[in-house]
Structure 1
């Protein structure tokens, strides 16, 4: 997990705190304001949620901010303390979180996925026509499609705090330049850029507004 932490910190750059936890651990470490969100949830959801909050408080500590509660909003999004923005993501074996001051960064979105190929049946639902034309130029088109999926997840998380817009995968077209990307979004949404890489068998995606 330390390699994941270091890679994510490098992708984000200065001004961000990073936390990494294991969602397979017991659902511990929640604060009273957070527990109602998962009071009736199944065990896996409780573990995922708790791992995200522990990772977020690790990120706060790395940023030099006192750990605080992160309740859940109406769309199940994390509600950050005043003056902070952040993002959380988890897969089966790893949970990541990042936090920054809003006077330095408007929003941030992160995503983590296993670096496995995307089911070909899902590609038409995730990728636009332009992206589907690009996929055959890649060494592993189905893995590249999974990277597109991950990047779009990060983009959604980055734009939502500003717009409160629920956008579909095909509302976004990605254009890649090596490990960097920029997103073509509807005109009413903010411009978004980011980067993506694979470390320790995981796809890591970061999106900035």
Structure 2
């Protein structure tokens, strides 16, 4: 978990709070949060609780008092006023990043197993320009999975700003080493991101 935390810190710098939890551990929800997953299956409740625990740990890192993180009708977290944040999880890791909006207007994070994307999904996830870039990669399946993860982070970061549901074809990512730039969508021209592989996981962040 410390490797994941260090990778996220490398990508985001000193102004972000970072929380990392194990979704396999039993974590208690605050009463106000429990209603959101009262009818959910146990796995969903466990993931939800791990995400809220990670969010409060991230908030504590930047001196923000712990509070319940409720869920909107769109299932997106409702962050306290003045705070930008995001939560993501896979089977083995849950992460949250938060920051005061004076430092980041919006944040998105994603975590995925560092395994290749299925061949039949590459054309769904990746634009023609991205597929041309993949052709030059030594492991195009893994590189495509990284694009998928980065686009998940971009979606989470853009949603609080635009209120729009966008598809994978709405943006083209220009990958440069461990960073990427969002292209092909003038609304998101100022959005940037970073991506790393750590402890067998793809970690992606997007920010404005």
Shift of 1:191: 2.8
Shift of 1:104: 2.0
Q: How far does the alpha carbon of each residue in 1:123-166 deviate from its partner, in whole angstroms, 9 at most, with x for none?
A: 11100011111111011000000000000000001111011110
C-alpha separation in 2, matches of 1:182 and 1:158: 13
Shift of 1:197: 0.9
Structure 2, unpaired ranges of 5+: none
* Counterpart in the other structure of 1:52: 51
* Counterpart in the other structure of 1:91: 90
Is the Cα–Cα contact under 8 Å of residues 182 and 189 in structure 2 kept in the other structure?
no
Q: What TM-score do the two structures reach when normalised by structure 2?
A: 0.97
Shift of 1:187: 2.9
* Counterpart in the other structure of 1:73: 72
Q: What TM-score do the two structures reach when normalised by structure 1?
A: 0.96
Is the Cα–Cα contact under 8 Å of residues 83 and 99 in structure 2 kept in the other structure?
yes
| Counterpart mapping for 1:31-180 below 5 A | 31-180=30-179
Q: Secondary structure at the match of 1:137?
A: coil
Shift of 1:190: 5.0
C-alpha separation in 1, matches of 2:148 and 2:198: 17
Indicate whether 1:11 and 2:11 are aligned.
yes
Q: How far does the alpha carbon of each residue in 1:24-65 deviate from its partner, in whole angstroms, 9 at most, with x for none?
A: 112x32112211110000011001100000000000111111
C-alpha separation in 1, matches of 2:24 and 2:40: 16
Q: How far does the alpha carbon of each residue in 1:39-94 deviate from its partner, in whole angstroms, 9 at most, with x for none?
A: 00001100110000000000011111111111011211100011111010000000
Q: Secondary structure at the match of 1:110?
A: strand
Is the Cα–Cα contact under 8 Å of residues 181 and 193 in structure 1 kept in the other structure?
yes
Q: How many residues align?
A: 208
Is the Cα–Cα contact under 8 Å of residues 17 and 59 in structure 2 kept in the other structure?
yes
After the TM superposition, list the runs of 4 or more consecutive aligned residues in structure 1 that deviate by more than 6 angstroms: none
